[in-house]
Structure 1
Amino acid sequence: MAPATVLRYENTARRFLQESSVGGVFAPGALTGADVNAFLLREFARVSAGSAKGRVAELRSVLRFLYLQGLTGLSLGASVPAVGGWRFATLPSAGLSASDVQLLLDSFDR
């Protein structure tokens, strides 16, 4: 991986591990899918959709590592949801006129 990619993964791992610690102690065996989703929701609130997709990949990597090292009993990577971010997913900027809406409504057998 490129050095910048390693740094991003490290930063996400560090934030996740710090936020998942209780009293400064990280107990990976106690992690749940809810903990993972709570972390992601906090992250998503502060980043763009593109960055959110990166956070998902970074967190899945951390969770796979924890599982493969035997630090967690569950493969929590599966609890990380996918992030939508389709290019044309927004509403059109121009609205429909009242007459266009009426034409649309009249075209259906109600």
Structure 2
Amino acid sequence: MEQYQRWMESERGLSASTMLRYGNTARRFLAEQAMTDGQFAPDSLTGADQNEFLLRECARVSAGSAKGRVAELRSLMRFLHLHGVIPKKLGGAVPPVGGWRFASVPPTMATEDVQRLLDQTPRHG
């Protein structure tokens, strides 16, 4: 984690608050996904491990925060690969998060409007 922090600061030029967020996500991911029988085993990480982690993380945060988690995890995966900790380039395996404007649930129709629509719809059986 210390190497990752130094890399984020010196190579990526990230602010202290951004490094804190990235570091927190990295710690959670590594603790949950890169441990085998109590041993640190990052070389066995897969794209599926990343997806499992992101599904858990993103289920509890907004779309904007989910996009942040994706960026944070991609950063960690790039670092791990660049420094020879993992053999595969897993940064590209992190899926994007959709976040479309105006993607909220549309307002509901009044019961009377639904009935009027149904009454005027031809039914062929």
The TM-score range, normalised by the shorter chain, is 0.7 to 0.9
* Residue 104 of structure 2 is aligned to residue 63 of structure 1: no
Report the CA distance shift for 1:102/1:32 in structure 2 as closer, same or farther (over 3 A).
farther
Q: Select the structure with the greater relative contact order (CA < 8 A; seq sep ≥ 6).
A: 1
Q: Equivalents in 2 of 1:85, 1:39: separation in Å?
A: 19
Identity of aligned residues (%): 58
- 5+ residue gaps, structure 2, are 1-13
Q: Aligned partners of 2:104 and 2:119: how far apart in 1? A: 23
What are the ranges of 5 or more consecutive residues in structure 1 without an aligned counterpart?
A: none
How high is the TM-score relative to the length of structure 2? 0.74
Question: Which region of structure 1 is more displaced relative to structure 2, 41-50 or 6-15?
Answer: 41-50
Judge which range, 4-13 or 94-103, deviates more: 94-103
Structure 1 residue 9 corresponds to structure 2 residue 22: yes
Q: Distance in 2 between matches of 1:49 and 1:68?
A: 29
2:50: which partner in 1? 36
Instruction: Summarize the alignment of residues 43-58 of structure 1 with structure 2, pairs less than 5 Å apart.
Output: 43-58=57-72
The count of corresponding residues between Structure 1 and Structure 2 is 105
Q: CA RMSD in A?
A: 1.9
**Deviation digits for residues 66-106 of structure 1, max 9, x if unmatched?**
11111111111111111011121123214273345777x67
The answer on 1:86 being equivalent to 2:100 is yes
- Looking at structure 1, the residues matched to 118 and 25 of structure 2 have their Cα atoms a distance apart, in angstroms, of 47
Structure 1 residues 65 and 101 mapped into 2: Cα distance closer, same or farther (>3 Å)? farther
Cα distance, 1:94–1:66 mapped onto 2, change above 3 Å: same
Cα deviation code 1:16-35 (max 9, x no counterpart): 11112122222121111111
Tell me if the contact between 1:49 and 1:85 (Cα under 8 Å) persists in the aligned partners: yes
> TM-score, normalised on structure 1?
0.83
Selected match of 2:89 from 72, 75, 87:
75
